[in-house]
Structure 1
Amino acid sequence: MQQSVDVIDGKDFRRMIAGAYGAFIREHEYINGLNVFPVPDGDTGTNMLLTLGAVAKAVAEAPAEGIGSLSRRAADSAIMGARGNSGVILSQLFRGIARGLSGKDTATSAEVGKAFQYGVLYAYRAVARPVEGTILTVAKGIAKGTRRAVRDKAPFADILREAIGAGREELKRTPELLPTLKAAGVVDAGGQGLIAFLTGCLEGLEGRFNGPEADFERTLTVTGPAAEMSISHPYCTEFVVKQFTAGLDEVKRQLEQMGDSLVVAPGESVLKVHIHTAHPGAVLESAIAWGTLHDIKIDNMADQHRKTVELAPAADMSKDEAVSVPAKAGLAVISVVSGDGLINIMRQMGAGIVISGGQTMNPPVEEFVAAVHNGSAEKYIILPNNKNIMLAAAQAKKLLGDRVAIVPTVNVPQGLAAVLAFDPNDDIDSNVARMTAAQAAVKSGCLTVAVRDSQVCGLTVPQGAYIGIIDGSVAVWADNPAGALEALVRQLIGPETEIISMYYGAGLSSKEAEVLATGLRQQFTHAEVEVYFGGQPHYQFIISIE
């Protein structure tokens, strides 16, 4: 019989996070498989796993401290490491928990239970337009179960059991609330992820670690191009603290716990800091208490591995030399795309910074923050170019304030249209208005292969079929790429169409792409058909109609 835990401390919290991470290592592929859409974008479990991995690493490496400060550290790490919409929702769960535990060294079961209720509330608020039958339905059920158990003054382990039970009941209902889930015969992936999180917390609290042991120095193996880098402290972080009044020894003690390659160069009321860290946001948050922060530079040292943000190298931080950083000026665009061809095209069209990401490889919030801190412009407009990156971009804006604006592009053609409308000499509000109008006028679609059988308009689309997608829905399918491509373009074009732009993916050769383009030219003689190398994974073609 498990012993009841009536008072929760920092050690208990550590075990819960370690248990939750172990549960996700065990369950994330199953959660990925619940994604009902037949395109190869089943990344809900992976996004939640990588977000939780950032939390687990920060908590594991943190010094012994109370549950309040530890939960705050977890929340900061979750926010900066959040990937995809599901990861951002999970990060808001941690944010609410941290609010409920703020200032506490230990907490009663009721206090921790209420903190988890805060977490569910924050997670729900993270989505602008909540949809029933999703992770949010499960979150509401968890909140109700938690509230009942807290009211009955149950031990926290029992509170978790009640929350899990209530959440599972709501999870069972999700197919009845969303027809797409019912047609596929699955429950909501994000909701299943929440259940896995709470189950892991309970296992960790009770000392039942059923997942693989966490090894943060080892590369995390995930399918697809989103595999994690193996550098344990990938962000070279530099800044200057002016009006420095804190104790130098205490500052060194704090920084030594946050990374390596530490250089601390004190001057007259000035401190220069250089550190390699996994969590630059946590470093800067600590440094705010030491004085005023200036000349912040964050460089991702794993750029060669993931081909992420291409930025200038960090300045030398020797003790005897002054930090010289060019003044930031003007306005620039940060665009998210995947594929060497599309990255080059986006840069040529005027994007100042390109972050590699897209379907199944959603960049974390921290990459947006690092890009803005390290870039040469004073302000930036973000083009997410994928609906599953929207919440991460919005979270970056919350952290960066008016230095960032977002144009809500949900695919690459919209992003290309938006960046073409960008004028670096105009103000940010005018640019956002013009770029938003430009992206909204775009007609686009994409061609890929169904990774599972699915129901579309009452018909079964078989696994392996070529499917054309418009506005996030399967519009056409065929058993060969030429037939699916022609049917897709036929749905997109009109008598006013002048140009059909085709961006072919990494799985096609230029010869194969040109053969398919020739077929379109023969079918649609009134429009020009242009072919470009995109290099994107998963999608044979991305189509833009002008």
Structure 2
Amino acid sequence: MEMIEKHKTIDGNLFKKMFIKGTINLKNKYQEINNLNVFPIPDGDTGTNMQLTMMKGVEKLKKIKDKSIIKVTKVLSDALLFGSKGNSGVILSQFFSGIYDKINKLQKKNINISEFIDSLAYGYQKAYNSVIKPVEGTILTVLRESIEKTIKIKTKLKTIKETLQKLFQYAKISLENTPTLLPILKKSNVVDSGGAGFVSFLEGIVLYLDNNLLTKDKKEIKKVSSLQNYLNFSNKRHSLNIDNEDIKNIKYNYCTEFIFKIKKDNFNLKNKQKEFSQNKIGDSLILIKKDNLLKIHIHTNKPGYILSDLLQYGSLIKSKIDNMQEQKKIFSKKKEQKFFLITITSDKNIRKIFKDLQVDYIINQENPTIKFFQKIIKQEEMNNLIILPNNEKTLKTILKLKKNNPVHNIKILETNNIGQVYNALLAYDPKLDFEVNLKNMNKNIKKNKIIQILDNIHDTNTKQKLDEEKKFVAIFEKEKNYDTNLLSLVQKLLKKIINNKSKFLTIFYKKNDFIKNNLKEIEFFLEKYYKNLEIEKIENEKTSNFLYIFLLDEY
């Protein structure tokens, strides 16, 4: 496994890995980021737009093998320009475009720490310049302040790891200060959502540089915890605190994005920016041009006017128009919805992860009784419940609970292990209604693949005679495979489920030396045969009797 502890330069390969790991962390936290979204419009989609934008970059980066940082940043810049969504997504695309501009001027296959920091400065400056009327207290501020502080100490920084740690530290400080710069954030008791997305991206990079893999074990959580912990806000502090008056005050209804292929030489970017700004046909205006591509993002009441005006310079190749009034109404429905999400785990690390995924109530014990569940229902006064059991015994208990509580609308997801629970929670979206969440969570359970690896002695449902020749059992889609060699069994099943479409593999593993040692061999196997597969590891100490659970996300 490549050692990155003492890297003093960045080539294309390291840059690519950092971007991918940062994006995975952003993707994992996008719902938390959505819940902070109050500016410029409280429509709850900042996290979604940012992770969709960055995932476009990941898709393109995985296809290139060139280790030149010039080539990697160019491919990334082009991918983000074309794939960017929403205000923050477009700003991110310009940030990385600026990074490429500086690196391209250097004409070096790898860059040192000072050059890397200079490229970050180019990035934030280009992001600022792309916005016609920049607003402080947003992602722009977090970019600028964190990078400017890093510039001041760049002569003291010895490694890439130290550089990113400092940048992350400064970004968190800047983010916490955003409510003092933007009144709507202070009124809503939140930090800026776009800034939170950038901080989450940096967090993923720091985790990678610390451990060579993006994981969520106890050691890392102590170093870099969830958004709630390091920003000092709770799940109750989010954009749902925006009242109906804010919906009525939306001046421009349509979030409009167009990409044009410019064919005429008489198009002047600065003149067009000035024209649209002076005509007051909208706000949140970003107009950018790269080679023969022109992209516009604007909130307006006249998307047709924008379209017809720019069509005179070329042809439309991509468009998106969203009614922000309707988006906000849908997002605000969560205020009236009284439904509650309940999971069960006694493992401290898993509880932290479930909290990050916005579970309302986490039962801190294994196999709770019916009386325990009934107490929770009365205490929380929730009529609509979604319960995710973590084993078959708890599932049977909850089925009895449902039968004994006809007044309450209890929906049970048939999750029999912690991997299935985690899998279902990845599809949970607090701004969607009860039935839609149920559908999406069930769909995720059915779509993704799960393998459980157990000691044969702990496979309580098998009638297979225990002997040394069948020491371990793997369960996949109710089919059982036995082997005395743990590594051989794991490799056999992984080969069975992984294909060319597979992108993410989450490995839950039990905390003991034997399992950890085998895990290293499993990682080596995956890196050798499935280089494009991104791996997330989650350690647990108390949950169930499994040795490993492998969750393959087809995404």
TM-score bucket (shorter structure): 0.3 to 0.5
**TM-score, normalisation: structure 2:** 0.43
**TM-score, normalisation: structure 1:** 0.44
